[in-house]
């Protein structure tokens, strides 16, 4: 799951980003509205966490631009104001959810997860393939009676491959959706992660390498 946090309070933005990464998400950060819009237009984010009161470009305008441009990203708006009028305004712009500050971090993680399951297209909360079960809400994977101890990137790759329902997913798409913008585009991280994931999944193997195309389940 890839998330963009657009928040002008750098300390808060870094804290939120660090927490979301610990929850297994790939996170990019923008500190103003113009930068947030540019990133959101250039990358395929599952969720954009968007503060309303932003410098250079107001969060409302960022939201409106993304909706008008046909963005598939789900938008969660944040604001220091918590009135019903603000809620109505934010959702009226096309935002998918709204969270007033200060917020409980667990609630933020839960809402981001719920929104992400409705994106690219909707992903069910539990993904299955034979005896392999991935609970995306609880971040838990099992095969048969074994609980799989997966690193965040391994879980992200498995989740994306299962959600593709047999479609071949390229290494480039995996890199874009599971890693963040700081990742070297020429890295072999995808290949290494898939190899480790295969070992943890065990036999019979469920991940197929499609020559010059990518991977599929």
Q: Could you tell me the pLDDT band of residue 125, with boundaries at 50, 70 and 90?
A: confident
Within a domain: 121: no
Query: What band does 50 get if pLDDT is binned at 50, 70 and 90?
Result: very high
Nearest 5°: phi and psi at 165? 50, 50
pLDDT tier for residue 136 given thresholds of 50, 70 and 90: confident
Domain identity same for 130 and 107: no
CA distance 196 to 164: 20
Residue of higher predicted confidence among 103 and 5: 5
Q: Which of 216, 107, 93, 94 is nearest to 166 (CA)?
A: 216
pLDDT at 101: 85
Residues 106 and 187 in one domain: no
Q: Which of 82, 116, 150 is the last residue of a domain?
A: 116
Specify the pLDDT at position 14. 95
Spatial distance between the Cα atoms of 4 and 50, rounded to a whole number of angstroms? 8
CATH number at residue 195: 1.10.10.10
The overall average pLDDT reported for the chain is 88
110-144 CB burial, b ≥16 within 10 A, e <16? ebbbbbbbebbeebeeebeeeebbbebeebebebe
**Percent of the chain whose predicted confidence (pLDDT) is above 70:** 92
């Amino acid at each position: 799951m890839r998330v963009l946090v657009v928040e002008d309070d750098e300390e808060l933005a870094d804290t939120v980003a660090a927490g979301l990464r610990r929850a297994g998400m790939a996170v990019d950060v923008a500190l103003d509205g113009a930068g947030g819009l540019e990133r959101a237009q250039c990358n395929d984010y599952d969720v954009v966490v968007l503060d309303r009161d932003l410098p250079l470009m107001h969060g409302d305008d960022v939201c409106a631009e993304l909706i008008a441009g046909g963005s598939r990203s789900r938008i969660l708006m944040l604001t220091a104001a918590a009135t019903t009028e603000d809620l109505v305004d934010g959702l009226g712009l096309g935002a998918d959810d709204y969270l007033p500050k200060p917020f409980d971090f667990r609630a933020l993680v839960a809402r981001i997860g719920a929104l992400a399951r409705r994106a690219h297209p909707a992903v069910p909360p539990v993904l299955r393939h034979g005896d392999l079960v991935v609970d995306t809400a609880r971040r838990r994977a099992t095969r048969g009676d074994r609980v799989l101890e997966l690193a965040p990137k391994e879980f992200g790759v498995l989740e994306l491959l299962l959600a593709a329902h047999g479609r071949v997913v390229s290494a480039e798409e995996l890199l874009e959706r599971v890693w963040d913008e700081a990742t070297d585009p020429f890295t072999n991280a995808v290949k290494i992660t898939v190899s480790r994931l295969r070992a943890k999944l065990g036999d019979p193997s469920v991940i197929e390498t499609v020559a010059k195309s990518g991977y599929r389940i």
